[in-house]
Amino acid sequence: MDAYKLLISGDIPLTGHTSVSGGKNTSVALIPAALMCDDPCTLDNLPDIEDVHVLVDILRGLGARVDYSTVTKRMVIDPRGVNACTVPYKQTQRMRASYYLLGALLTRCGEANVGYPGGCAIGNRPFDQHIKGFRALGAEVSEEGGMICAKGSLQGRTVFFDRITVGGTINVMLAAVKAKGQTVLCNAAREPHVVDLANFLNSMGASVKGAGTDTIRIRGVQKLHASQYTVIPDQIETGTLMIAAAATHGDVTVHGCIPTHMEALTAKLLEMGVSVTDEDDAIRVRPIGPHRAINVKTQEYPGFPTDLQQPMSALLCKAQGTSVVTETIFESRFKHLSEMRRMGARARILEQTAFIEGTQELHGAPVTATDLRAGAALVVAGLMATGTTEIYEPGFIERGYEHLEEKLRALGAIVRREPV
Ligand code: EPU
């Protein structure tokens, strides 16, 4: 279907079992990483989402052979035919993580010319720390005609990030894997996908130590060999499904997740008065009583993730009392609350803080998704409102959630598409 809107009939408790897909933000790092290998690699559990399909197009354009099955979720990447190091803007503007092609192609070809990255409009998203890291390793980096150009043979060095950056940590890690000598990344991001990338690189013969702490040590190797690797489950999809369950006072078990990755959200849901219990690889969310207002402040991992702030603040629109939500990572991540005002939400936004006064009067209305997680937040809003919510621009959701509508329908939600 080309242009469509999503229609949600809300106020129905979600019940049953669902499974989480492979991680978006880990997949978009691992696929470029496979370009650096000297042999073909196999990645399993790659989600069928728009960002993964964009990367497949990019890798094929560079000369790699890529076979991806949306049924088995397996991708085989053979980078031996790579014969180009330029990725044009018309491809890179389709996603944020296209900037990982810089680190990966620098390592593979000694040169990378990559168009400016696109991605969600959630604030000013500089990449100065990526460039600082490449330069520290000896690359010459310039920006010409809408392209970022980097070249040089790289030498291990110490890189101190001025602020914690997931993208910067991953990109410089990619560049350092075959650099001569040791690279030390200080003030590194600790997100699960940083650890997953390090594990994948090590499975190919790289030497990356300390991922998951703020200091990562990478000893350059000359070759990376074939590997078969399974991507970790998506932390943000897990959280979105947990929030959707809580929003409808439903009883949902999310299977195939890693509960320790969810501790910040679990703690906040418990504080609100939601029952959350976990087993080895499953989390069950059940109602106890009315939801209480809470305060949330986004932080780098293991703090409360900014990517869950939007669905979480949608949930708080029906909690008893006034919640205070502070967004510290991106400047522009409250647009969903402005949309939700049309549904009866009472939210006042003052710079980076939202003051949300809970109301039981949320009702369906036409709203527009402005980015991926805003789209997910509006789905949560639609699920807990009375009547029908129409979400315009739901295509954003497909960038990062695998078959979200089907998963919700299987839990009893009434969700359908209609052409516009
Ligand atoms: N920043 C800089 N300079 C840099 C890099 C980042 O100032 O060179 C700033 C950013 O402006 C931001 C903060 O540092 O204020 C953190 O940015 P980070 O680099 O960590 O974010 P990112 O790599 O651009 C990734 C995820 C985002 C997620 C953030 C934070 C991917 C592809 N994207 O973005 O995911 O919100 O980390 O966890 O991994 C999403 O999935 O919806 C999404 C936006």
pLDDT tens-digit series, residues 378-413: 999 999 999 999 999 999 998 899 999 999 999 999
Dihedral, CA of residue 340, residue 344, residue 350 and residue 356, to nearest 10: -100
pTM of this structure: 0.97
Cα 143 to middle of ligand 1, angstroms: 20
Please give the order of strands across the beta sheet that includes 111-115: 86-87, 111-115, 147-151, 140-144
**153-180: average pLDDT:** 98
Nearest CA-CA partner of 30 in 199, 161, 160: 199
pLDDT tens-digit series, residues 100-141: 999 999 999 999 999 988 876 767 788 999 999 999 999 999
Q: Best mutation site among 134, 165, 261 for ligand 1, i.e. most ligand atoms within 8 A of its Cβ?
A: 165
Residue 28 Cβ < 6 Å to ligand 1: yes
Answer yes or no: is pLDDT of 94 > 90.
Answer: no
Mean pLDDT, the chain, whole residue set: 96
Answer yes or no: is pLDDT of 168 > 80.
Answer: yes
**75-79: average pLDDT:** 98
Answer yes or no: is pLDDT of 250 > 90.
Answer: yes
Amino acid at 134: F
Residue 165: the pLDDT is 97
pLDDT tens-digit series, residues 275-295: 999 989 999 999 999 999 999
The residues, any chain, with a CB within 8 Å of residue 413's CB and separated by 6 or more, are 8, 12, 14, 248, 383
Evaluate whether 4-21+233-419 and 24-230 have a shared fold.
yes
The CA–CA distances, whole Å, from 397 to 14, 49, 82, 370, 392 equal: 19, 9, 31, 10, 11
Alpha-carbon gap, residue 336 to 126, rounded angstroms:
23
State the CB neighbour count (10 A cutoff) for residue 202. 17
Residue 27 Cβ < 6 Å to ligand 1: no
Q: What is the phi/psi pair of residue 72, to 5°?
A: -85, -15
Q: Do residues 390 and 359 make contact, with C-beta atoms less than 8 angstroms apart?
A: no
The helices-and-strands tally (H runs, E runs) of the chain is 14, 24
Residue 233: the pLDDT is 98
Residue 20: the pLDDT is 98
Q: Do residues 77 and 33 make contact, with C-beta atoms less than 8 angstroms apart?
A: no
Cα 126 to middle of ligand 1, angstroms: 9
Q: Best mutation site among 129, 163, 265 for ligand 1, i.e. most ligand atoms within 8 A of its Cβ?
A: 163
Residue 340: the pLDDT is 98
Q: Which amino acids are annotated catalytic? A: 120
In CATH, 4-21+233-419 is 3.65.10.10: yes
**In the chain, what are the domain boundaries?**
4-21+233-419, 24-230
Q: Provide the percentage of residues in the chain whose pLDDT is more than 70.
A: 99
Answer yes or no: is pLDDT of 1 > 60.
Answer: no
Cα 389 to middle of ligand 1, angstroms: 30
Q: Closest residue (by CA) to atom 35 of ligand 1? A: 307
**310-337: average pLDDT:** 96
Q: Provide the percentage of residues in the chain whose pLDDT is more than 90.
A: 93
Residue 122: the pLDDT is 65
Cα 302 to middle of ligand 1, angstroms: 15
**203-210: average pLDDT:** 98
CATH of region 24-230, choose from 3.40.50.450, 3.65.10.10, 3.50.50.100, 3.80.30.20: 3.65.10.10
